[in-house]
Structure 1
Amino acid sequence: MRRRGEEGGKPNHERWLITYSDLITLLLIFFVVMYTLSKIDANKYHAIASSLAKTMGGSQSIMDSGGPSLVPGADESKELESFLETAEQQSMEKIKRQIEEYVQGQGLAGKVTVTIEERGVVVSFQDMVLFPLGSDALNNSAKEIVDKIGAILQQTPNYIRVEGHTDNLPIRTSKFPSNWELSLARSATVVHRLIEFSDIPPDRLSATGYGEYRPRVPNDTDANRQQNRRVDIIVLRTKYQEVEPEAIIRSLSITTDKKE
């Protein structure tokens, strides 16, 4: 009996192994889960990149480069961001090239200019190309020009902003009390034309009127004022679309109206 009691009273120094093995098991499960999540993200990124490459006519060579990263999924995220920027730049350059070819073919060089800026592709029309002096009605030749360029712009999913500009010569008529109204009316006219004849979705378009307050050059000569009287069509880069209001607000409003 004494021998059994002595043996039963001895402390078990190996019980810590149970806690240790449980901790190791939990850590193993944690890292397996993290690794699985990172692989899912990588597959998702590659799928998105592949789809965009086919849509924009680009290649997937960008996705094949890049070194390892200590953060799971970081390489894939950077690769996707780089790929999207490159693909969008290629799309912008394609739009610019197509419009320039049309402008050259129609003998509009100098009257219609196409540039790529930080905000996107800017197609700038001198006002005489599209509108009679002091009017917001497109002339006959302008309708064809806007339709042809609209067909090129229709292929991109980016938002499109139309901006109206005037010189500093005042206008005061029953229809246009100031240059603000004239510039906005002209941009709205172009927007309506793009919707009706180029099938560009209305939720991708916006019209803005700046009047005389965004001149390219000082309004101190007739030639300079001619440059400032213009209508610009801007294909916005994706990063500038984040400031645009969401269409979900409109859809929620429609749903509310139906319930009432």
Structure 2
Amino acid sequence: MARRKKHEEHENHERWLVSYADFITLLFAFFVVMYAISQINEGKYRVLSDSLIQAFRNQPASALQTQTGSITGSAGAVVQKGAILTGSPPKVQSAQRKAQELKMRNIATDVQKVLAPLIKEGRVRVTETPRGIAVEINASVLFASGQADLQPASVEALTEVGNLLGAADNLILVEGHTDPLPINSLQFPSNWELSGARAGSVVRLFIESGVAPKRMTVIGRADTRPVEDNGTEAGRARNRRVTINILAENREQITELPEFKLTPNEAAQ
């Protein structure tokens, strides 16, 4: 009898898909793990940090807890001993907050006394912000049109403000603002340069008045933060301003201030 012919087995050319699928699965698992460990729990991180400090300094746990105290979270919760508790901050933090508020209130009162004539004329506004005190000065008080050199009439008032701030230790953020009308001069190619130069002129005067340079930061915002409608001359005049932000908390770096918003009483004026 004739032998049956064996069917030839065809080589599987798709075996690489198995290895490729395994590789993709491992890569996905790797990124999931990396993402998971990148999400830091502030409470657990602080407990780990305190434990390391205790270990290296050989301090008892009770003393360490007394030094570290509790941390107020961004949502008003209190992080203490690695747990998130709801409720009022400790009495120590409450006393510190009251002292800070009193200090800022005294600074605002002193600034208002110095700038009282300009405040009465409506060309200076002193307001409270989430970060501290904002002293908004109309540009017409400080500069000639299209210029960044302080006018002699404004130097005396700003010098008195600088003397007050020199006696304090708060960080200061000076912002220059313009209207959207374009400027294109040899000195100021755009409103960005003009707003920055105006804020810089105020800072230089403060330095001459005794304010430490490391406490101050200059920002030129051009016409990006209007507080009034630029469709009218009165609105554009209001938007041309320099804002001196006296920050309530001292930090190693000054971060972005929240957008300035008018109070209902100011909006009605």
TM-score, normalization: structure 1?
0.63
CA displacement, residues 159-212 of structure 1 (integer Å, 9 cap, x when unaligned):
101000000111000000000000000001111110112x11111001000000
Partner residue in 2 for 1:100: 112
Shift in Å at residue 35 of structure 1?
Answer: 11
Shift in Å at residue 157 of structure 1?
Answer: 1.1
Contact 2:112–2:119 (Cα < 8 Å) also in 1:
no
Counting aligned pairs with the same residue, the percent is: 34
Q: How many residues align?
A: 183
**Runs (5+) with no aligned partner, structure 1:** 1-33, 47-69, 246-260
Shift in Å at residue 86 of structure 1?
Answer: 1.5
Match of 2:163 among 141, 151, 159: 151
Letter in 2 for 1:190: V
Partner residue in 1 for 2:217: 206
Letter in 1 for 2:254: E
Aligned pairs (5 A) from 1:11-160: 37-38=61-62, 42=66, 78-104=90-116, 106-109=117-120, 110-160=122-172
Contact 1:45–1:80 (Cα < 8 Å) also in 2:
no
Structure 1 outlier segments of 4+, above 6 Å: none
Is 1:226 paired with 2:237?
yes
| 1-structure distance, mates of 2:212, 2:153 | 24
Shift in Å at residue 90 of structure 1?
Answer: 0.9
CA displacement, residues 29-75 of structure 1 (integer Å, 9 cap, x when unaligned):
xxxxx996535764x699xxxxxxxxxxxxxxxxxxxxxxx97xx9x
Partner residue in 2 for 1:19: none
| 1-structure distance, mates of 2:92, 2:170 | 18
| 1-structure distance, mates of 2:195, 2:118 | 25
**Runs (5+) with no aligned partner, structure 2:** 1-57, 70-79, 256-269
Deviates most, 211-220 or 151-160: 151-160
Give the match's secondary structure for 1:238.
coil
Structure 1 or 2: larger helix share? 1
Contact 2:217–2:254 (Cα < 8 Å) also in 1:
no
Give the match's secondary structure for 2:90.
helix
Letter in 1 for 2:245: I
Is 1:244 paired with 2:235?
no
| 2-structure distance, mates of 1:204, 1:160 | 6
| 2-structure distance, mates of 1:220, 1:169 | 11
